[in-house]
C-alpha cells in the first residue's frame, strides 16, 4: 500500500495539519456495506464537534440489490464546515469507495484532484465484472487525475478482528467501522460518540459491539501509523447561534413537530398511515411516542389511513396522515371529503420521483400541482412547505395551527431530500413555543354546523360526545349555516366561494415572504421547499461577485403570502428553480402575470449550487457591478 | 322490550328523540324504512346518551340512513365508513359507533376496509343492507347478485360468482356475525340490539328488498306464508329446528348438514345444536353457506365470541408506555441522542 498522492514530497514530515473551511465526504459501497451507518456516525461526530453539517443519503429502493452490482450501490454524503452551510455540497472532496461498483457509480462526481480512498480488497475479477469494468481501474491509468489512496479495508479489518470470535461473514460486516475510523483520523474527529453508539446499539450483542469498537480504533490507528496521508485536515467549529443543538433528519423533525403540536394544542394525536417511501420514518418515529398519548394506526391502505385520520378529526382530536405521491393519489377522494366537511386534518406529504411508482428513494418536487389541484371539484386546501430538514419541525406545528384555526385540511409538503437529509437543529425550549388555541362548539342554542367565524370563515368544531350538538355531516353539498344536504344552485356557488375564500384568508394569518439579499434588483431567485439551500448558496456567491440577485423561498404555497406580487414586481427578472417541469412557475406566471424563467431538473437529485449559479450568470451575468 | 311504551331507563329517551327533521328520501316501499324504524326504536333501549351515538355510512341508498338519525352522523364516501369509524373509535372509545353500509358499499368498493375492521375487532356495529343490486345508480348487479342475473349492466346475465357476506365476515375474524330480514321487524330489532351490545365488531347482514330494481329478491323464503318452512332461526344452545310445525331439523353428518324430519327415530337430540360462542369457525362457516332452496336460510346470531377490542389494546399500549416512561416530556424528547452546546 502506498499513498499515491502526487503532491507529497518524499521527505515531508508526516501528518501536517491543513486548515479547511469545508469538506464534503461521500461514503459509497454496496447496500450491505453499512455506508449509511458510517455516514451518520461521521455526521453526528462532526456536529458534536461543532461544525455545521448537512447530509444527503442515496440508496437503492431494493432492500438487497445483487451484491456488487451498480444498482446495489448505497451512498451517504456529508458536508461539514466551519461556517453556516445550506446544502450537503455539490461535489465530494473525498470519495470513499468500498467496491468497484461504487467507484463506477460515483467517480463521475469527484472533481479532478479529489481524494479517492479505495477498498482494494473488493477489486477482484468477479466484482470488476459486476461493475462492468473490463480492466481493473486501480491498475491502469484511468485514475491519474485523482489522489488515490489504496487501503485493503477488508483484510485490515479481518486482521484486526482475527481474535474476535466472530465468523468471517460477521467480521466482514464491520469493515465500514474500519473505514470510518480511518476517516475520523484523517479529519481529527474523536471516536467517543461512535463508541458510545456501538455500546448502546449492540448492548445485547457484546461480540459485535467489541468488534466494531476494535476495528474502528484499528482504522484510526492505521491512519496514524501507515503514512498514507501526508496531511490531516482540520475544520474548525462553526459560528452557529448559541444554543443547544442536535443533528436531525427532516422526517425525524417532522415527527417531533407533530407530537409538539399535540402538546401545544393539548389534544391527543392520531396518525393513520400506510408504509411508503420516503414517508415511513414518520410512522416509525411517531409510533415511539405513545407516552405522549400518540396513537398510530398502520392502516390496510392509503385510503384507510386518511379515512381513519378524518374519523379522529371528526372526534375532536388531531387527525394526521402521511404519505408520498402515489399514496396521495389514493387519498384524493377522502381529502376532498375533508374539504367538504371542513375538518382540521393534516396530510404529511413527502414527495418522491414519479409518476406512478417512479423512483421511490429519489427526490422530486413534482407533486405540487397534485397537492393543490389533484381532487375533483373546487377543493382548496392549505399548503405549507418547509425549506430545510430542521424547518420540518416548525412547519409541522404550523400545519396543525392553520388546520385548527381555519378548520381546513392542510398539507405539509416535504420531499425525500428534506426527509432523509439532516442538519443541526437548535433545540427549542418547549415552554417557549406558542400554544395552539383550540375552540370547540359547546352552546347548543347558538349552534349551526355550518355557521362561520366572521374573520376566518371557519365553521364550528362540534364533536361527538357534546350534548345538544348532534348533527350530520358528509360529502354531499351542504346548505349554508344548517349543513343540511342541498342541491340548490345558488347555495352551491356560495359554498364553493366560501371554501375558496376561507383558504384565501389564511394569507392574513401568515408571515410575509422574506427576501434574502437586496429588497429589489436585477433578479429574484424564487423557490419553494428543499431548493432553498442551493438557491441561497448560489445567491450568496452571486452577490459576492457584485450581482444584484436576491432570493426568496415560499414556505406557504396555498395561500401565497400577500406580498408575493409586490416582491416580484421589485425585480427585473424572476428565476424559479424547481425539481419538476415548472409547476410553481405555472402558478406564479398565471397569478402575477410575470414572465418568470424556469430552471428545471428531474433527475431524482437535488439542485447543485453550481446549476443555480450558472443560470444566474446566464440571466444577469453581464451586469456585474464593478 | 321494543315497544313504544312509556320511556324507561335513566335517560328516558324515546324513539321520537332519534328522528330528524329531514325528509326521508327512499323509494316508497323500500326495505330501508323498516331498518330505519327498528334502529330508531332500539336507540332508547340502549340507554346511551344521544350525543354518544354516531352513525357513519358510505355511499348508496342504505348510506343515507345517518341523515335520519338524530345522533351524530357522518355520510362519508363510497366504501370508507369503516375507516372513519376506526379512527373515531380508537380516539374516543366511549362512543357507540354504527356503520351503515350495503352490498356494493361494503363488499365491493369498501371490501378491503370491511375485512380489516373486522379482523381488528374495533368495537362498532356494522349493518350491511343486502339487496343484491345497485339501487342508487339504478339497477346494476352487485357482488351479492346471483350468478347469471340480468341487470342493466348485465343484459346477458352476470358471469360473476357472488360473495356470501356472512362467509366473508367469518373469514375476516368477525367476533359477532348475524343475519336478519327487513320484513321481520321483531327479529330485526332483537338482532341489532344483540349486535349493539356485543363488545367488538358486530356484523349484521340484513336481507333488504329493493322494490324498484330487485323486487322480491328474498320473497321465496322471506314471505310470511313460507318463512317458517324456508328459514331457520338460530338460537344459542338450541337445535336447528324449522317448519310450520317445527317438524324439520338440520343434522350434521360430519361437516355436511342435512335436512331431517323429526320422528321416525330422529329426535331433537340428533340435531345440530347451535353454539354461537364456539371459537372454531368451521360450523359458523357451514351456516354461512346454507341457502334456500337447498336449505332453509339461517336467521339470527351465527357467531358471538369474545376477544379484546382494538381500541382497548391501543389504549393499553399508551397506558403501558406512560407507566414505563412517564408522561411525555417534550424537552426530554428534543434532547434525545447526542446534543451539543454552542456558546
**Residue A241, domain member (yes or no):** no
- Per residue in A247-287, pLDDT (tens digit) is 999 999 999 999 999 999 999 999 999 999 999 999 999 99
Please tell me whether residues A254 and A306 are part of one structural domain. Answer: yes
Residues A541, A564: contact at Cβ < 8 Å?
Answer: no
Residue-by-residue DSSP string for A524-566: EEEEEGGGHHHHHHHHHHHHHTT--EEEEEESEEESPPTTHHH
User: How far is residue A169 CA from its own chain's centroid?
Assistant: 34
Mean pLDDT of B95-116: 98
Asked whether residue A594 falls in the same domain as residue A557, the answer is yes
Q: What is the pLDDT of residue A353?
A: 97
Look at residue B7 and tell me whether its pLDDT is greater than 60.
no
The share of chain A scoring above pLDDT 70, in percent, equals 97
Domain boundaries, chain B: 15-222+308-312
- Going from the C-alpha of B291 to that of each of B170, B220, B231, B257, B280, the distances in angstroms are 16, 11, 9, 12, 21
Question: What stretches of A231-361 adopt beta strand conformation (E)?
Answer: 231-235, 243-249, 269-273, 295-298, 318-323, 345-351
pLDDT band at A360 (very low <50, low <70, confident <90, very high): very high
Average pLDDT over residues A109-120: 96
Per-residue confidence (pLDDT) for residue A14, from 0 to 100? 56
The alpha carbons of chain B give a radius of gyration, in whole angstroms, of 23
First to last CA, chain A: 51
Overall average pLDDT of the A386-406 stretch? 98
For the stretch A535-540, contacts whose Cβ atoms lie closer than 8 Å and that sit 24 or more positions apart, written own/partner, are A535/A577, A535/A607, A535/A612, A536/A86, A537/A85, A537/A86, A537/A87, A537/A609, A537/A612, A538/A609, A538/A610, A538/A612, A538/A613, A538/A616, A539/A612, A539/A616
DSSP classification of residue A511: P
Q: Which of B51, B324, B333 sits opposite A465 (nearest CB)?
A: B51
Q: Which CATH class is domain B15-222+308-312?
A: alpha beta
Q: Is the dihedral of CA A611, A612, A615, A621 positive or negative?
A: negative
Cβ atoms of A580 and A587 within 8 Å: the answer is: no
**Closest Cβ–Cβ partner in A256, A315, A334 for B77:** A334
Determine the pLDDT at residue A349. 98
Quick check: A39 and A77 in contact, CB under 8 A? yes
Positive or negative CA dihedral for A196, A198, A200, A204?
negative
Question: What does the radius of gyration of chain A's CA atoms come to, in whole angstroms?
Answer: 27
State the pLDDT at residue B67. 97
Residue A135 sits in the same domain as residue A284: no
For residues B54-65, give the mean pLDDT.
97
Q: Which residues of B touch A466 (CB under 8 A)?
A: 51
Of A260, A290, A465, the CB nearest to B52: A465
Q: Give the pLDDT of residue A13.
A: 44
Nearest chain B residue (CA) to A486 = B22
Q: What pLDDT is attached to residue A266?
A: 98
What pLDDT digit, counting tens, does each position of B64-81 carry? 999 999 999 999 999 999
CB–CB of B87 and A270 under 8 A?
A: yes
Are A75 and A191 part of one and the same domain? yes
When CB atoms are compared, the residue of A290, A297, A317 closest to B321 is: A290
Residues A224, A103 within the same domain: yes
Q: What's residue A8's pLDDT?
A: 38
Q: What share of chain B is helix, strand, coil (3-state, %, to 5)?
A: 35, 20, 45
Q: What is the DSSP string of A217-240?
A: HHHHHHHHHH---SEEEEEPPP-P
Q: What is the pLDDT of residues A446-460, one digit of tens each?
A: 899 999 999 999 999
State whether residue A256 sits within 8 Å of chain B by CB: yes
pLDDT tens for A285-306 read 999 999 999 999 999 999 999 9
Q: Which of B76, B330, B342 is the closest to A240 by Cβ?
A: B342
Indicate the burial class of B179 (C-beta count within 10 angstroms; 0-12, 13-18, 19 or more). buried
User: Nearest C-alpha of chain A: how many angstroms from B300?
Assistant: 30
Same domain flag for A354 and A473:
no
Q: How far apart are CA A244 and CA A70, in angstroms?
A: 41
Mean pLDDT of the B112-119 span: 98
Q: What SS3 class is residue A450?
A: strand
Whole-structure pTM value = 0.94
pLDDT given for residue A16 in this prediction: 83
pLDDT above 80 (res B113): yes
Partner residue facing B85 (CB), from A272, A311, A313: A311
Per CB-CB distance under 8 Å, the chain B contacts of A316 are 91-92
Secondary-structure percent of chain A, ordered helix, strand, coil, rounded to 5:
40, 20, 40
Nearest-10 crossing angle of helices A532-544, A609-620: 50
Would the pLDDT of B9 be above 60? Answer: no
Closest residue on chain A to B332 (Cα): A430
Helix (H) or strand (E) holding A393: helix A391-406
Q: What's the average model confidence in pLDDT over B205-209?
A: 98
pLDDT for A59: 83
Produce one character per residue of A556-568: b if its CB has 16 or more CB atoms within 10 Å, e if not.
bbbbbbebbeebb
| DSSP assignment letter at A481 | B
Q: Do residue A489 and residue A383 come from a single domain?
A: no
Whether A317 and A351 share a structural domain = yes
Which member of B22, B83, B339 has the closest CB to residue A244? B339
Q: Tens digits of per-residue pLDDT, B311-338?
A: 999 999 999 999 999 999 999 999 988 8
Q: Residue A173's domain is classified under what CATH number?
A: 3.40.920.10
- Residue A243's φ and ψ, nearest 5 degrees, are 150, 180
Give the tens place of pLDDT for each residue, A158-189: 999 999 999 999 999 999 999 999 999 999 99
| Per-residue pLDDT at A11 exceeds 90 | no
- Best of B48, B52, B76, B110 to disrupt the A interface (most A CBs within 10 Å) is B76
Q: Are A372 and A448 part of one and the same domain?
A: no
Residue B6 has pLDDT above 60, yes or no: no
pLDDT digits (tens, 9 = 90+) for A583-617: 999 999 999 999 999 999 999 999 999 999 999 99
- Does the structure show a pLDDT above 60 at A12? no
Assigned domain for A439 exists: no
Which residue among A432, A462, A487 closes a domain? A432
B70: nearest CA partner in chain A:
A470
CA-nearest residue of chain A to B81? A307
Q: Mind listing the pLDDT tens digit for each residue in A180-223?
A: 999 999 999 999 999 999 999 999 999 999 999 999 999 999 99
User: What distance in Å separates the CA atoms of residue B47 and residue B39, rounded to the nearest whole number?
Assistant: 13
Residue A430 distance to chain B (closest CA, Å):
6
Q: Do B91 and A427 touch (CB under 8 A)?
A: no
pLDDT confidence bin for A4, thresholds 50/70/90: very low
| A571 within some domain | yes
**Segment B25-41, tens digit of pLDDT:** 999 999 999 999 999 99
What percent of chain B stands above pLDDT 70? 97
**pLDDT score of A25 more than 60:** yes
Q: How many domains does chain A have?
A: 4
Residue A230 has a pLDDT of 81
Q: Is the pLDDT of residue A9 over 50?
A: no
CB pairs under 8 A between A and B: 212
Measure the CA angle with vertex A403, ends A400 and A404; round to 5°: 85
Contacts of B340 in chain A (CB under 8 A): 47-50, 244-246
Domain ranges, residue A450: 444-509
- The shortest C-alpha distance from A125 to chain B (Å) reads 42
**pLDDT per residue as tens digits for the range A98-108:** 999 999 999 99
Asked if the C-beta of A546 comes within 8 angstroms of chain B's C-beta atoms, the answer is no
Looking at residue A7, what is its pLDDT?
Answer: 38
**Helix (H, G, I), strand (E, B), or coil: what is residue A485?**
strand
CA A27 remoteness from chain centre: 19
Pairwise CB contact (< 8 Å): B330 & A44: no
Put simply, the chain A residues between 483 and 542 with a CB less than 8 A from any chain B CB are 484-485
Kindly state whether residues A374 and A268 are assigned to the same domain: yes
Claim to verify: residue A411 and residue A464 sit in the same structural domain: no
* Chain A residues touching B74 at Cβ < 8 A: 311, 314, 341, 472-474
Beta bridge partners of B326: none
Region A348-372 average pLDDT: 97
Measured between beta carbons, the chain B residues lying within 8 angstroms of A341 are 74
**Mind listing the pLDDT tens digit for each residue in A531-565?**
999 999 999 999 999 999 999 999 999 999 999 99
Same domain, A403 and A470: no
Q: In the listed set A432, A455, A488, which residue is the last one of a domain according to the structure?
A: A432
Residue A493 in any domain: the answer is yes
H/E element holding B168? Answer: helix B165-171
What pLDDT shows up at residue A239?
Answer: 86
Does the interface predicted TM-score (ipTM) exceed 0.90?
yes
pLDDT band at A626 (very low <50, low <70, confident <90, very high): low
Q: Taking every pair of C-alpha atoms in chain B, what is the biggest distance, in angstroms? A: 99
Q: What is the CATH number of the domain that holds A425?
A: 3.40.50.970
In 3D space, the residue among A154, A127, A142 whose CA is nearest the CA of residue A69 turns out to be A127
Please state which of the ranges A9-18, A609-618, B131-140 shows the lowest mean pLDDT.
Answer: A9-18
Amino acid at each position: 500500500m502506498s499513498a499515491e498522492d502526487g503532491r507529497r514530497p518524499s521527505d515531508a514530515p508526516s501528518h501536517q495539519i491543513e486548515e479547511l473551511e469545508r469538506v464534503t465526504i461521500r461514503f459509497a459501497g454496496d447496500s450491505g456495506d453499512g455506508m449509511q451507518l458510517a455516514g451518520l456516525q461521521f455526521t453526528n461526530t462532526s456536529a458534536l464537534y461543532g461544525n455545521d453539517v448537512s447530509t444527503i443519503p442515496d440508496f437503492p429502493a431494493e432492500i438487497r440489490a445483487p451484491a456488487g452490482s451498480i444498482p446495489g450501490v448505497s451512498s451517504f454524503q456529508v458536508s461539514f464546515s466551519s461556517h453556516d452551510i445550506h446544502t450537503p455540497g455539490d461535489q465530494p472532496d473525498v470519495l470513499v469507495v468500498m467496491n468497484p461498483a461504487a467507484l463506477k457509480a460515483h467517480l463521475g462526481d469527484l472533481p479532478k484532484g479529489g481524494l479517492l480512498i479505495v477498498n482494494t480488497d473488493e477489486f477482484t475479477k468477479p466484482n470488476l465484472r459486476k461493475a462492468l469494468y473490463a480492466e481493473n481501474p486501480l491498475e491502469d491509468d484511468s485514475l491519474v487525475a485523482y489522489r488515490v489512496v489504496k487501503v485493503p479495508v477488508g483484510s485490515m479489518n479481518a486482521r484486526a478482528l482475527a481474535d474476535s470470535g466472530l465468523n468471517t461473514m460477521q467480521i466482514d460486516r464491520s469493515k465500514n467501522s474500519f473505514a470510518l475510523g480511518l476517516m475520523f483520523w484523517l479529519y481529527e474527529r474523536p471516536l467517543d460518540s461512535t463508541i458510545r453508539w456501538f455500546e448502546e446499539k449492540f448492548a445485547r450483542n457484546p461480540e459485535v459491539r467489541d468488534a466494531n469498537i476494535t476495528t474502528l480504533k484499528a482504522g484510526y490507528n492505521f491512519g496514524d501509523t501507515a503514512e498514507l496521508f501526508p496531511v490531516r485536515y482540520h475544520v474548525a467549529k462553526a459560528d452557529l447561534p448559541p444554543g443547544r443543538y442536535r443533528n436531525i433528519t427532516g422526517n425525524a423533525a417532522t415527527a417531533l413537530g407533530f407530537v409538539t403540536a399535540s402538546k401545544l394544542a393539548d389534544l391527543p394525536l392520531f396518525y393513520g398511515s400506510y408504509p411508503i417511501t420516503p414517508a415511513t420514518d414518520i410512522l416509525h418515529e411517531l409510533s415511539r411516542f405513545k407516552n405522549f398519548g400518540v396513537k398510530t394506526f398502520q392502516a390496510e391502505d392509503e385510503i384507510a389511513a386518511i379515512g381513519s385520520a378524518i374519523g379522529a378529526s371528526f372526534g375532536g382530536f388531531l387527525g394526521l396522515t402521511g404519505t408520498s405521491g402515489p399514496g396521495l393519489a389514493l387519498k384524493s377522494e377522502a381529502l376532498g371529503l375533508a374539504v367538504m366537511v371542513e375538518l382540521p386534518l393534516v396530510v404529511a406529504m413527502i414527495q418522491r420521483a414519479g409518476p406512478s411508482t417512479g423512483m421511490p428513494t429519489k427526490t422530486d418536487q413534482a407533486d405540487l400541482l397534485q397537492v393543490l389541484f389533484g381532487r375533483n371539484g373546487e377543493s382548496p386546501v392549505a399548503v405549507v412547505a418547509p425549506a430545510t430538514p430542521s424547518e420540518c419541525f416548525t412547519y409541522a406545528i404550523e400545519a396543525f395551527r392553520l388546520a385548527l384555526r381555519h378548520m381546513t385540511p392542510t398539507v405539509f409538503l416535504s420531499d425525500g431530500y428534506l426527509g432523509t437529509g439532516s442538519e443541526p437543529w437548535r433545540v427549542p425550549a418547549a415552554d417557549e413555543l406558542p400554544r395552539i388555541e383550540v375552540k370547540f362548539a359547546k352552546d347548543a342554542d347558538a349552534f349551526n354546523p355550518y355557521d362561520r367565524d366572521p374573520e376566518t370563515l371557519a365553521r364550528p368544531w362540534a364533536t361527538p360526545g357534546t350534548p345538544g350538538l348532534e348533527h350530520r355531516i358528509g360529502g354531499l353539498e351542504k346548505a349554508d349555516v344548517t349543513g343540511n344536504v342541498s342541491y340548490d344552485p345558488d347555495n352551491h356557488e356560495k359554498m364553493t366561494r366560501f371554501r375558496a375564500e376561507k383558504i384565501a384568508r389564511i394569507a392574513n394569518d401568515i408571515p410575509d415572504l422574506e427576501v434574502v439579499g437586496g429588497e429589489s434588483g436585477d433578479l429574484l431567485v424564487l423557490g419553494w421547499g428543499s431548493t432553498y439551500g442551493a438557491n441561497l448558496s448560489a445567491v450568496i456567491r452571486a452577490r459576492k461577485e457584485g450581482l444584484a440577485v436576491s432570493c426568496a423561498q415560499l414556505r406557504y404555497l396555498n395561500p401565497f403570502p400577500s406580498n408575493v406580487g409586490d416582491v416580484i414586481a421589485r425585480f427585473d427578472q424572476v428565476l424559479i428553480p424547481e425539481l419538476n417541469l415548472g409547476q410553481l412557475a405555472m402558478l406564479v406566471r398565471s397569478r402575477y402575470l410575470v414572465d418568470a424563467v424556469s430552471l428545471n431538473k428531474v433527475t431524482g437529485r437535488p439542485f447543485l449550487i453550481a446549476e443555480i449559479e450558472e443560470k444566474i450568470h446566464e440571466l444577469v451575468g453581464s451586469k456585474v457591478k464593478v | 322490550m321494543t315497544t313504544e311504551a312509556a320511556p324507561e331507563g335513566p335517560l328516558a329517551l324515546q324513539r321520537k328523540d332519534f328522528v330528524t327533521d329531514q325528509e326521508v328520501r327512499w323509494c316508497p316501499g323500500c326495505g330501508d324504512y323498516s331498518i330505519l324504524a327498528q334502529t330508531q326504536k332500539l336507540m332508547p333501549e340502549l340507554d346511551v346518551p344521544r350525543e354518544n351515538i354516531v352513525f357513519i355510512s358510505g355511499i348508496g341508498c342504505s348510506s343515507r340512513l345517518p341523515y335520519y338519525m338524530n345522533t351524530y352522523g357522518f355520510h362519508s364516501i363510497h366504501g370508507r365508513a369503516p375507516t372513519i369509524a376506526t379512527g373515531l373509535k380508537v380516539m374516543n372509545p366511549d362512543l357507540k359507533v354504527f356503520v351503515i353500509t350495503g352490498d356494493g358499499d361494503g363488499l365491493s368498493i369498501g371490501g378491503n376496509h370491511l375485512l380489516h375492521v373486522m379482523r381488528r375487532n374495533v368495537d362498532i356495529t356494522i349493518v350491511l343492507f343486502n339487496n343484491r343490486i345497485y339501487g342508487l345508480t339504478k339497477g346494476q348487479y352487485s357482488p351479492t347478485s346471483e350468478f347469471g342475473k340480468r341487470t342493466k349492466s348485465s343484459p346477458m346475465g352476470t358471469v360473476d360468482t357472488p360473495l356470501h357476506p356472512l362467509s366473508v365476515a367469518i373469514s375476516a375474524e368477525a367476533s359477532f356475525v348475524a343475519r336478519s330480514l327487513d320484513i321481520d321487524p321483531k327479529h330485526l330489532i332483537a338482532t341489532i340490539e344483540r349486535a349493539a351490545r356485543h363488545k367488538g365488531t358486530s356484523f349484521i347482514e340484513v336481507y333488504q328488498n329493493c322494490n324498484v330494481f330487485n323486487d322480491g329478491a328474498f320473497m321465496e323464503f322471506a314471505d310470511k306464508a313460507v318463512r317458517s318452512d324456508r328459514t331457520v332461526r338460530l338460537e344459542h344452545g338450541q337445535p336447528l329446528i324449522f317448519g310450520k310445525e317445527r317438524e324439520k331439523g338440520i343434522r350434521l353428518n360430519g361437516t355436511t348438514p342435512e335436512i331431517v324430519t323429526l320422528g321416525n327415530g330422529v329426535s331433537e337430540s340428533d340435531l345440530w345444536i347451535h353454539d354461537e360462542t364456539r371459537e372454531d369457525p368451521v360450523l359458523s362457516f357451514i351456516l354461512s353457506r346454507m341457502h334456500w332452496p337447498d336449505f332453509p336460510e339461517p336467521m339470527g346470531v351465527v357467531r358471538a365470541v369474545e376477544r379484546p377490542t382494538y381500541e382497548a389494546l391501543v389504549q393499553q399500549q399508551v397506558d403501558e408506555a406512560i407507566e414505563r416512561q412517564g408522561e411525555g416530556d417534550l424537552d426530554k424528547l428534543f434532547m434525545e441522542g447526542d446534543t451539543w452546546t454552542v456558546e
